[in-house]
Amino acid sequence: VIPGWFSEISPMWPGEAHSLKMEKILFQGKSDYQNVMVFQSSTYGKVLVLDGVIQLTERDECAYQEMITHLPLCSIPNPKKVLVIGGGDGGVLREVARHASVEKIDICEIDKMVVDVSKQFFPDIAVGFEDPRVTLTVGDGVAFLKDVPEGTYDAVIVDSSDPIGPAQELFEKPFFASVAKALRPGGVVCTQAESIWLHMHIIEDIVANCRQIFKGSVNYAWTTVPTYPSGMIGFMLCSTEGPLVDFKHPVNPLSENDSQQSRPLKFYNSEV
């Protein structure tokens, strides 16, 4: 460990650690679920860290939040009801809110401290909570889904941390089954699905489970995020039985209007 630098060390990526130079630690706290830290980095803006793992930086969060949101939402016509699991920073909400067809955005985040810290230190990300269509539930995404009536959502986005800690169950088969149940026929899910350079065993399990559960299409996508382990992160993109969803040919592009508000898209576009 180099003094004055943050190093991301975890058994999920043994033998390597990405480091960022720290200017100042802005927040350190312990919630009921995890250690929460925010620091000012020299070159990536402010950084949010949970249990020693980088969740986002101001410089590259766009690549993750835009992709995990628009890959599913641009693949179905007129998404109306959207559920976000995790994502307590508000970045995915900000992206969902670009879609004018959306009428209701539910979010279930386990850790209220993440929401509070994001509102305090990341206003350009937590801005997602200001959309009037958003309803926040603080709780476990697994429990939340158990109470969702069948066929409620057009899309579910699982913006979860890694499977060590409170997010473990979000990578397991019963969770995927409850997501499928919560979706309407031909509804879509996009989940954070780790890196092909580090977690092929986890990805193989997820793909095998999803092939059994989602009778529509099952795909793996990925994007570059320099501050995530190995510099990239993947997504599981699936649809339920019903109108077939072709994730490779999105039918619902963001309009000029959606993407050129006061906060233009930075990463996602139809060509990407």
* Residues near ligand AAT (CB under 6 A): 53, 55-56, 65, 85-89, 91, 108-111, 114, 140-142, 159-162, 166-167, 170, 192, 228-229
DSSP state of 76: S
What is the nearest approach in angstroms of ligand AAT to the Cβ of residue 78? 25
Beta strands 18-30 and 81-86: pairing type?
A: unpaired
Cβ nearer to ligand AAT, comparing 49 with 218: 49
* Selection from 17, 93, 84, 87 nearest residue 48 by Cα: 87
Cβ nearer to ligand AAT, comparing 35 with 252: 35
What is the nearest approach in angstroms of ligand AAT to the Cβ of residue 158? 9
Residue type, 155: A
Beta strands 232-239 and 183-192: pairing type?
A: antiparallel
Query: Is 159 a catalytic site residue?
Result: yes
What is the nearest approach in angstroms of ligand AAT to the Cβ of residue 264? 19
* Selection from 210, 81, 242, 222 nearest residue 155 by Cα: 81
What is the nearest approach in angstroms of ligand AAT to the Cβ of residue 233? 6
DSSP sequence for 8-49: E--TTSTT--EEEEEEEEEEEEE-SS-EEEEEEESSS-EEEE
Cβ nearer to ligand AAT, comparing 18 with 215: 18
Collapsing DSSP to helix, strand or coil, 60 comes out as coil
Residue type, 58: E
What is the nearest approach in angstroms of ligand AAT to the Cβ of residue 215? 25
Structure tokens at 16: 């390597």
How far is residue 123's CA from residue 120's CA, in Å, rounded to a whole number? Answer: 7
Cβ nearer to ligand AAT, comparing 20 with 245: 20
Place of tokens 């095998």: 208
How far is residue 46's CA from residue 25's CA, in Å, rounded to a whole number? Answer: 10
Catalytic residue among 60, 111, 159, 162: 159
Beta strands 104-109 and 134-138: pairing type?
A: parallel
**Cβ-closest residue to ligand AAT?**
86
Cβ nearer to ligand AAT, comparing 109 with 154: 109
Q: Which residues are catalytic?
A: 159
